[in-house]
Structures are given as structure tokens and as C-alpha cells.
Structure 1
């Protein structure tokens, strides 16, 4: 047994020791109406509603579903949603969210609103979240600008953590897998002074030696040295009408970064391993503070949500993604190797104030105001690599590109939504939001300052018809807006425009066979103006955001959930995203699909839980995800073939102790989560970011 494994084993035992092993006999719970598919309660529209009564296509994943599927990150959760993907690329925390054809790009706002306990996460480095102590995740598809504001073009992801409880309870979880992967998490909740003052404390830790081998260095390119976070939460109820909810979370990480493979063949289906000489790594920390206050006014609830985030990250990596032995000519044949690095410092403060009327009336309303201040400092350097040491980033004599910028913005918004029951089963909903985004960029090295602003009115109108308690039809016109901004100083495209869209959607939600079957679906059409996309000029270390004049996107979404027999749950979904570039400054791209688009995706999950005895229960779960062809660039030259991911999990529970085995990517499918051809990478070779190979292991879970 190695020392590192022994240390992790001791830590794992200590983690589980946080949870008293008060194993009590528990039988399989009765399958009540609240357990059937579709009977999930959500807060997608700032009020508590039954999922099947909300005229939006929503994928809702409960905390129990996340545990049973072995989902531990927001990326894994989104992969269960058709017409959506959550890819990793670039730095350790950098992600690429794509929903209904609208995609994340580097150094720009995300195409979806990403909200944790009511607080928006505005930077792409904030979206890859470790999931622990989660109540549920709500994934809303389609523009949600009227309520969620700027950047909610593709939809919204609403993560709700577990609240403190008025009785003592907790959990502990320990996972070990191949690649010497160790994940531990634990939490405890209970009263401080009775039910009016309660607390919750959760934490998680991850370490991973990696599975993707660097063929030149001989080490693993995808390691995680450590990634941990702690979250504390206190809820106080001084009076029956007032609730104060305080939350704090802090985390640190150090892990692999930018482990792209040089793809000399230029073939998006040539899945090669990394071979760079300069090791890539990223390290950082984050602090999140939230204060939520709810005041019951009798006729409505007044809510204040204040959020503050501080985040720092340092990234060092190879730039040419090759080595001096296999490529002695170096980057662009100039005779030298090259490295890169970025230092990011992000601070955000947000404030939302809203008032929501009571639900028990034919006319329902809500209104609010919102403010966000962001400071984002980014230092970017490219340097001549002479010794494979990342510390060369600090040697000014070796730099051939040096940029240092500070971007700040103040965003203001006012919003309202009205629901009116025209008759008992026909409801008209109208929403309106005004967003203004004032941006300022300072070139710290040159001392120059640029300012601009973007604003947009975002209306939404929905007509909902409910002829029966388990049947709903809706038609929606909605809009979305993603702010524009500045590229780095000295970039050929100094300013990129705001992206906006109009969405036309019709859908249905239905349940039958005594609510044992849920079937939902929608058709949508999006007219996008100034579609944002990304490319790189490596010779100047310039990351450039530009726009495509006009894009049309249409598609369908169908979701089915069924419980044919007690204990067996089956869910499946398909989605299509058929995009077309209608007008572009690059005439040859017109008629093509948009970058990173996947025209067809689907998934299927089956879970069976049954009692072995009165005290022992079994669980088997299988998840299948199909990703169709992926078009990496606007020219549609580089297309990745379709692939499938199969995840499996099985185990038994002895009262409140569970033992499970798992495997992810069971078929060891090979794919890139990001592929950048030379036309868009700015390099003299294409690069690809390898997807995670097959992982497997065991897990122990304890609850009390």
C-alpha cells in the first residue's frame, strides 16, 4: 500500500467518522403519489410550483437522483439533458455550456443564467460546480430573459442546495476509483436553538492521479492535486413572517490545465494523446457569500438576495502543445517552443429585490430590481520556452506577448411578470425586463480606457391551456440577450456586439395511467442576431470574440418518464438543434451549422430499486447518452462523429449504509470535448481536448 493511498484512506475513514453509524432498519418506502415521475416541485419562476404546471421545458433532478446516478459535478448533471452539453476545455475550471445551439465562448458571458441559491454566477470559470448537499437542480430550456435577465438566452440552470433542518441529521460519502481517484464528502445539519435557528455544514474533497497519459513526459495530463470546498449555512426565523438565510462557501484547487493534444492529421476523429513538454497546471481559490431575507407581507412575499464572490486563478501551460524532440522546428517553425499563462482575479457583488404575490388568486404578479457589479482583471502572457518550467511566465525577457487588462461592468435591471387566469383552465402570462450593461476596460500596461454600454428590453408572452389536471398546452414568445464587450487591448476586433434572439415555442405536458407515465415535448424556433463565436491568434496570444450576423435555430424536445412497476423508473429524451447561418461576413459560411452544434442528442436511464429483506435494499441503474455529430467550426469542415456514453451503478443498502460499484463511459468511447482546427486555434496544428476515458470504482455512503 503506497503512502499516498494510505493517507487518502485515513482521510476517508475520518470523513465517514463525522457521521454516526446509527444504522436502523428501514424498509422500502411506499410508492406514494409524490414519488411518481413529474411530481417534483420547482421554483423556476420565483414561486413554488409543481413541475408539470410550469409552461417551460424543465429537466429537474432531485438530490436523490443525483446520488443514485453518481453525479458529482454540474457538467455531469447537464449531460442528462438533450439539446444541452457541458464540455471541459482550456483551464481546469473553464467550461463550455451549450444549450439549444447557443454556446459558451472564452472570456465572454455564458449563454445560460447559472444560479446557485438565487445568486447568478457570471463567469465561465464559476460554472463547473462540485455537487454536494444538493436539494435539486432545475434546467430550464429556452430564453428566460424576462425573469433571469442578461445571458439567459439558451435557458437557465438553477441549483438549490439543501436547507438546514430542525432535527439532527447528516451524511458521509467516500469514493475510490481507478486513476487513484478519491472523493470524499460529508455534511451535518440540525438545530442551534430550536426550529427558529438552524445550521448546515457540508464539505467535499477530491484528488485524482489522472488517466490521460502525456506520451512525451510520461505523466498524466489530467491530474487533480486537490479540489476541496466547505459550505456553511444558517437560517434564522426571528418572527413567523421573517426568515434570514446566510450562506458562505470557500474552496481551493490545484489541477491539470490545457491538456490539449496536437492533432497533426487535422482529423477531428483522430483521437491522439497529449505530447507537450511544458506541464499544464491551474490553481485558485474562491469565496462565495450569500444573504437572503424573506418577509411575508400577508398579500405577498418580499425577498432580498445579496451575493458576493471573490475568485482567483493562475494558469500555466504549453502553447504549441508539442515537444522539442518530435517537433524541433517549434511553434510556426520558428525554432523555439512556447508557453502561456493567465492570471485571473474576479470580484462580483449582486443585489436582487423582488416582491411575489400569493398564489391563491386568479391574478398573480411579481416585480423586482437587480444590480450587478463585476471587476475582472486578466493578465495574459506568451513566452519562449527554454526549459519546460512554468515559472518562465515571470521572466519579462522571454515574453513575446504581454497583455494586462481590467474589465469592470455595472448591470442594472427591472423586471415584472403577470399571470392572469382568463378562465379556470386558460392563463395568460406576460413578462418584461429591461437590462442595461455598462462596461469599462482599462489597458493597465498602456493606461488607456475604453467604455461602452448595451441595453435591451426583453418581453415574454405565454398562453397556457389546461383542459385537464394532467394535460397542459402552451405557446410562448420570448426573447434573450447576451451582452457584448471588449476584446483584449490591441486585438484586431476591438469590440464585439451584443447577441440577441427571438424565440417562438409551442409545447405540451401530460401524465396518464394514474400519473405513472409523464410525456412532455416542445417545438422551438430561434432567430439570433449577432451570434457570438471565438477564435485565437496564437502569435499574439489574442483570444478574439466576433459575431455572425444572423442565425436560425429550430428543433424539438421530447421527454418520457415512466414507472411501469413499483421500484422501476425509466426516463428517456431526445432533442434536435438544427441551426443555419443565414447571413455572415464570411459568405462561404452561409448555410452552414453554427460552431459546436450537435443536431441530434438523446438519453435513456433505467433504475430499479427493490428489497432483498426488510432491512436490505438493492439498486441498479444504467444511463445511456448519445451525442450526434458535432460541428466544431462555422465552416463545418471539422465534424466529430457521433458517440455514446454508458454509465452503470449498482449497490445495496443496509438501513442507512450503502455500498455501491460504478463505471462511467463503460465502453471507453473516445471523443474530444473541444477540438480547434488551425483556422480557429491560430496555431500551425489542430488541437483536441480528450474526453474522460472509462472510470470505475466503489463507493460507501452513510446517512443518519
Structure 2
């Protein structure tokens, strides 16, 4: 199978558009007030305000590598989830094998194992509240104010589990005047989406409210040739309510509650092969003799990649609840901020692993977790940008976190010697406490120094309850069945402590041109190998990273062009990797690694109403020291030295180009034309066999807006060229030789229309 790909010449052309980092003309920069005046007249790009550094700041003046997308941009690009976000964010890569199986990487790092005690390396926050479980991470985007993606370790202000970076999603807040909107859209595969919000004052100048909702339904894209049913549908419901209380000018309290539920009638995966007729022999051959099992037909790739054969359709879903209370008191020269958060997540997954019709092999997994967090910050309010009288700003804080939950997996197979029934349950209990401080001092009017540090202590306790039976043994050195004759309880706990500093030097070359250099450290929690066969539980060390970065931000041509870029080098120790133990069960290994690369983003207002945005990243992650074990084998003969090789699961380059053009129809409103192109490099497995080919795809949207902007009617086409590519998936049978894999194909070309009414 060879998906549509981007030619090397086209890739270089797109890179040339996205990488004009040598452009001069900084002498024409303007100050912030002038830039805002130009923006109000439609002659300059808007100023973007972010809270990435735990205070409100102009994005162009934050010495860090950050991408920020506002709610309007998210809607124009049809970004519905955090997975969609990766296509328009340099160095961010997200893929989802199913509901609740999202994997995040930034700069090539961040994926985690399936152990309940293993944490992600990309920290996700919703309204400043940490979401610890990746199963709850693929948020449905609706009624969003903006999304901020911070690249590189965020150890001082964001804390643990942000070794690769952090994503902060901020909801739209209640408005002082009554307003709202409603939108409905219909598209291919009977996709019907409805969303809306209503906002306004409940008590004049004292109490405000906002309520938003989302419904999203779509038929399945896959066909199960065994059962005749469809799979991979969409069924999502979500709602959010916000109350904002302002009894005085000094005090504000914001209470947020959210709920979301998604389910699918199973996730059916494709068998994808680069060699015609190659058989997928996972479970279909005898692991001792290597010979085919009598009466069992190994499956091969289907003619239609969105069809597959599975004995069951399976079912998957997730339901989340969350709440937060954000209180701010404006004292004399500083703010006191308190953020209290609670998150719950319940998910389930049932999937057929056998793939051959004669084999019954399926897993059923259920996860249930609860977490609570409390953060208190003191934040100085005086600005200390160039030209300000004040030269010093600071942030102090304390953070506490608790999580408890469980994941239970039941496995059934009818294939000797893997036959049997297994059930094992992991239970987690985590407590973390941190104190942090960061200060910025302007050494000279155009030279600033930022220094921050965070101390974190964390304790984890994991218990595993296992019940399993199987047909007796397999010879030593051969593949081992995951079904171990055992009824046992294993329990262990461990505490880790870390200090994570950050130092940044920024230098302004002009009013709107800045360079910065930074050194930062991050860490990701350690954990335990929570899969069978038997006690005791083996722990794995925390992941540590030192990051070195040079960056640039600037505005040119009266703020009609904004440019940012960074080069980085990250050095990892005890990089946590998902691999498989001698029983074929997912587990966590550690390695030393490094990642280096470059990121560039540019926005340009070419003429009133015509805006172009482009971005690119080139990431080169590599193992420095890593001896990998082939899944299903226990002997040294089946280990491989991967030192010096590319880290799997990550594309080296990611390019995007998008454009928006607004054409006035006079008294009849405006026409808005939007288009985007994305190009992504190929991806290899951990064992350097081809995982997914490079690809390019484009989307277009045309909208009509009424003169008062209260009505918007849009038509859109996604994946215009009907490009086919591999999104990610499960294991292959022989990592070092086979060119066959099991996983998901992207959505085909789809189209639809929407109507939006605002008031």
C-alpha cells in the first residue's frame, strides 16, 4: 500500500514559504499601542494575549516557544479535538488508535506506556487544571477561547510530566452583555454536529454565567466483513457551565463544571502491508514451532483499507466530569490566585486481537480514576517590559495533587499455548507536593534575565491483583504466553524528589524584535511495571531532561508580519518507552536519548482581508543508549542495540500553510475563503521498520457572513485529494523484519455545510 505522498520538490517549495527567517525590515517596527491602532483599522495583525507563563502577556514578548490559536482560528480550520491540533502546530504530533488511546509527543518525546503508573510527557491542562489521564486527553473543542502549546520542558511553572511540553486549553468566559450563538452542520457519512452557547449577566456587575454544549454523531467509516456491521463511528456529547462572581473590583471567583461522553461501536483496525500478500501471523502461527496452526488462515491486507475481519465489533467509550474554582484577589502590587480542580474519568475498551476468523482473542479493559489539585500563586502585577519604569516581576506558588484509580483488564483466547482466561487489576494512589518561584529582572532596558525553580516530591503506590490460567509452559528462550498460572496480589510504593530550574536571557534588538536563550530542566514521574507475570513489582526511574534553546520573535512592516522561531537541543536520561515484556504484555523501558531541531512560524497580512499563516518543524530524536528486547522473547539473542537510531513514532518534519481571504459584497455581507495544506514526514517503528509513509493533504472552506456578522453559512471539504495515510496502531509480528502492521487509516475525503446564528 502506497498512500498519496508529497513529492520532495513540493516539500522543499512549502518549506521555502514557511522558513523566511532572514527577512529584514525591523526598523519599520512599531510599538504596542501603534500596532493595536493598525489592527483596529485592519492594517495589522492582532495582538495575541496568552497566560502561558501564569500571567497575561503579549505572545510576541514571551521568551519561549509557544503556539497560540484562538477560537475563531480553531473553527476555520475545523479543529475539533486535540488530535486535529497537531497538524497546525510545529513539533506537536498526536495520534489516536481509539477512543481513550491518544498519544502525544512534542519535539519527538512524550509517548507513554499502558501501565497505570506511567505518566505522559506532555502535560495537558483545561482552564489551568491538570488532566493526568491520557484517556481523557483528546478533548472535544467547543466554545474555546484559545489553545496554548508550550514546547520544551516546563518544569518550573508547570511541574511534573511536562518534559516535552504542555498544552493549555482555555474556555470562553461569561460576557457582560447578553449574547450567544447556535450552529448546526451536516456532512459525509451522515455526520450531524450541533453546538452553541448562551452568556450574560445574572446580577448586573456582580454575577455572570455562560453555558455551552456540543453534540456530534457520524456513521462508521469501517466495515467488518465478518459481522457485516460498520465500525469507527462518532457519538459525542459535551456540556460546560461557568459562573463568574465579581462582588468587588478586587475579587473575582470563577466556577466551571464540565461533562463529556464519547463512545464508538468498536474500533476496527486495518492490516496494512508494504509487501503484497504478506500474512499477519500475530497469534496465527505456533510460537514454539513457528509453523502455521492447522485450520487457521492468517489474514492479509484487504483491497479496501477501510474494511477488516474481526470476530467481534467491540465497543469503546469514555465519560469525564470536571470542576474548577479559580479565585483571584488583587492586593497591593500583586495578585493572590487560588485554583482548585477535580477531574474524573471512566473508560472502557473491548477489542478483537486475533484477526483470524478461527481464533477468538479479545481484551476488555475498564479504567476509573479521580484526581484533585490545589494551586496557590502570588503574582506581581507590574509590567517590566522595555521602556517600563519597573524592572522586576515575580511569581511564587505552592501546588498539591492527589490521584487514585484503577484499570482492570480481562483477556480471553482460545489458541494454545495462549489459551486461557486472565484478569488483572491495577490500583494507583499518587500524592505530589511542589513549591516554585520565578523572577524576571531587566538588567538593561533591552536586556532581561528570568530565573525560576521548582521543588517536587511525589509518592506513588501501585497494587496489582491477578488471576490467570493457561495450558502449561513454553521452553526457555522462546516466546512466553501472557497467561501465567497465578493468583496473586503485589503491592509497592516509592517516593521521588526533583529540583527543576529554568533560566532565560532575552535581548530586544528593536521595539518588536527579540532574541532569547534558555536552559530548562524537566522531569516525569517514575512508576512500576504493573503487568503480570508475578510479584514483586519492578519500578522504573523518573525521566529527566535538560533543554537548551535559542529563539527569536519579531514583527515587521508595521506589524503586518509576525515571525517566531527556535532551535533546540534536549538531553534525556531514563527516557520512558513503551515496549513489551517477556510475556508480550506492554511495559515500560528506559533509555538515554537526545532530540534536536528547529521550529518556525510566520503570519502575514498581505492586504486588508488577506492573511497567510505558515509553520514548519524539523525534529531529529535519537537514542543515545538503548538495548531493546523483541516482544514475546526472553533471551539475549532477541535483543537489539538501538543506540544512534531514530526514535520511533515521530515524523521528522511537519509543514503547514493556511490562507484566509475576505471579500466584501457591500451591503450583502462578506465572502470568506479559507484553505490549508499540511505535509507530514514518514514515521518508523521503534525497531526502524516503516510505520507510515509521508503524506500531504488539504482542506477548503467557503463562508458567507451577513453584514452584521450574526449569520454565517459555510461549505467545506476536508482531505480534498482523498489522501490515504496511516494514523497509528498496534504491534507487528516481527519488528526487525516484517513490513506489515495493524492500525487505523485516516478519514477519506468528506464534505458538508453549516449554518451559524449569533445574537
Q: Scaled by the length of structure 1, what TM-score is found?
A: 0.88
Distance 1:534 1:565 in 2: 49
- Calculate the aligned-residue CA RMSD, in Å: 2.5
Task: Note the C-alpha offset of 1:530.
Answer: 1.4
Select 1:547's aligned residue among 590, 606, 612. Answer: 590
Select 1:127's aligned residue among 117, 137, 155. Answer: 137
Q: Which residue of 2 aligns with 1:238?
A: 247
Q: Is the 8 A contact 1:113 1:155 kept in 2?
A: yes
Q: Which residue of 1 aligns with 2:510?
A: 468
Q: Which residue of 2 aligns with 1:337?
A: 360
When residues 30 and 187 of structure 1 are mapped into structure 2, their CA distance, relative to the original with a 3 A threshold, is: farther
Q: Is the 8 A contact 2:224 2:313 kept in 1?
A: no
Task: Note the C-alpha offset of 1:65.
Answer: 0.9
Task: Note the C-alpha offset of 1:287.
Answer: 1.0
Distance 2:316 2:43 in 1: 42
Task: Note the C-alpha offset of 1:672.
Answer: 1.4
Task: Note the C-alpha offset of 1:453.
Answer: 2.0
Task: Note the C-alpha offset of 1:504.
Answer: 0.5
Distance 1:79 1:280 in 2: 29
Q: Is the 8 A contact 1:262 1:275 kept in 2?
A: no
Matches within 5 A, 1:661-672: 661-672=715-726
Q: Which residue of 2 aligns with 1:455?
A: 497
Q: Is the 8 A contact 2:196 2:213 kept in 1?
A: yes
Q: Which residue of 1 aligns with 2:350?
A: 316
Distance 1:354 1:42 in 2: 17
Task: Note the C-alpha offset of 1:153.
Answer: 1.4
Task: Note the C-alpha offset of 1:643.
Answer: 0.3
Q: Which residue of 1 aligns with 2:64?
A: 56
Q: Which residue of 2 aligns with 1:85?
A: 93
Q: Is the 8 A contact 2:267 2:313 kept in 1?
A: no
Task: Note the C-alpha offset of 1:30.
Answer: 8.9
Q: Deviations over 1:522-578 (max 9, x none)?
A: 1100111112211346x9672212112x11111011111100100011011110111
Matches within 5 A, 1:393-472: 399-445=420-466, 446-472=488-514
Distance 2:187 2:567 in 1: 41
Q: Which residue of 2 aligns with 1:691?
A: 746
Q: Which residue of 1 aligns with 2:231?
A: 221
When residues 293 and 385 of structure 1 are mapped into structure 2, their CA distance, relative to the original with a 3 A threshold, is: farther
Q: Which residue of 2 aligns with 1:626?
A: 679
Matches within 5 A, 1:620-659: 620-633=673-686, 635-654=687-706, 655=708, 656-659=710-713
Q: Which residue of 2 aligns with 1:594?
A: 647
Instruction: Structure 2: give runs of 5+ residues left out of the alignment.
Output: 1-36, 281-299, 384-389, 467-487, 629-639
Q: Is the 8 A contact 2:135 2:347 kept in 1?
A: no
Task: Note the C-alpha offset of 1:674.
Answer: 1.0
Please say which structure displays the higher CA radius of gyration.
2
Task: Note the C-alpha offset of 1:257.
Answer: 4.0
When residues 306 and 35 of structure 1 are mapped into structure 2, their CA distance, relative to the original with a 3 A threshold, is: farther
Task: Note the C-alpha offset of 1:285.
Answer: 1.8
- Partner of 1:76, secondary structure, is helix
Q: Deviations over 1:201-220 (max 9, x none)?
A: 00101111122333333332
Q: Is the 8 A contact 1:58 1:139 kept in 2?
A: yes
Q: Deviations over 1:343-375 (max 9, x none)?
A: 100100011111101123211100101111111
Distance 1:376 1:193 in 2: 40
When residues 152 and 276 of structure 1 are mapped into structure 2, their CA distance, relative to the original with a 3 A threshold, is: same
Select 2:568's aligned residue among 507, 521, 524. Answer: 524
Question: Do structure 1's residue 371 and structure 2's residue 400 form an aligned pair?
Answer: yes
Deviates more, 1:301-310 or 1:215-224: 215-224
Select 2:626's aligned residue among 565, 580, 584. Answer: 584
Q: Is the 8 A contact 2:38 2:44 kept in 1?
A: no
When residues 125 and 680 of structure 1 are mapped into structure 2, their CA distance, relative to the original with a 3 A threshold, is: farther
Task: Note the C-alpha offset of 1:265.
Answer: 5.9
Q: Deviations over 1:280-315 (max 9, x none)?
A: 211332210111110111211011101111211121
Matches within 5 A, 1:229-268: 229-263=238-272
Select 1:149's aligned residue among 146, 159, 169. Answer: 159
Task: Note the C-alpha offset of 1:127.
Answer: 1.2
When residues 680 and 490 of structure 1 are mapped into structure 2, their CA distance, relative to the original with a 3 A threshold, is: farther
Task: Note the C-alpha offset of 1:647.
Answer: 1.2
Select 2:73's aligned residue among 65, 77, 83. Answer: 65
Q: Is the 8 A contact 1:403 1:488 kept in 2?
A: no
Distance 2:620 2:53 in 1: 28
Q: Which residue of 2 aligns with 1:4?
A: none
Q: Which residue of 2 aligns with 1:7?
A: none
Distance 1:364 1:33 in 2: 33
Question: Do structure 1's residue 94 and structure 2's residue 94 form an aligned pair?
Answer: no
Distance 1:511 1:254 in 2: 45
Task: Note the C-alpha offset of 1:136.
Answer: 0.7
Distance 1:51 1:79 in 2: 21
Q: Which residue of 1 aligns with 2:339?
A: 305
Q: Scaled by the length of structure 2, what TM-score is found?
A: 0.82
Q: Which residue of 2 aligns with 1:25?
A: none
Matches within 5 A, 1:254-293: 254-263=263-272, 272-273=305-306, 274-293=308-327
Task: Note the C-alpha offset of 1:416.
Answer: 0.8
Task: Note the C-alpha offset of 1:639.
Answer: 4.0
Q: Which residue of 2 aligns with 1:483?
A: 525
- Partner of 1:192, secondary structure, is strand
Q: Which residue of 2 aligns with 1:395?
A: none
Instruction: Structure 1: give runs of 5+ residues left out of the alignment.
Output: 1-28, 329-335, 387-397
Q: Deviations over 1:315-362 (max 9, x none)?
A: 111122x141xxx3xxxxxxx320111010010001111110112321
Distance 2:575 2:272 in 1: 28
Distance 1:559 1:244 in 2: 36
Task: Note the C-alpha offset of 1:605.
Answer: 0.5
Q: Is the 8 A contact 2:273 2:739 kept in 1?
A: no
Distance 1:689 1:659 in 2: 33
Q: Is the 8 A contact 1:216 1:323 kept in 2?
A: no
Distance 1:450 1:38 in 2: 53
Question: Do structure 1's residue 613 and structure 2's residue 666 form an aligned pair?
Answer: yes
Distance 2:41 2:432 in 1: 44
Task: Note the C-alpha offset of 1:112.
Answer: 1.4
When residues 425 and 693 of structure 1 are mapped into structure 2, their CA distance, relative to the original with a 3 A threshold, is: same
- Partner of 1:52, secondary structure, is helix
When residues 668 and 551 of structure 1 are mapped into structure 2, their CA distance, relative to the original with a 3 A threshold, is: same
Distance 2:200 2:43 in 1: 25
Q: Is the 8 A contact 1:92 1:257 kept in 2?
A: no
Q: Is the 8 A contact 2:243 2:254 kept in 1?
A: yes
Task: Note the C-alpha offset of 1:476.
Answer: 0.3
Distance 1:556 1:384 in 2: 47
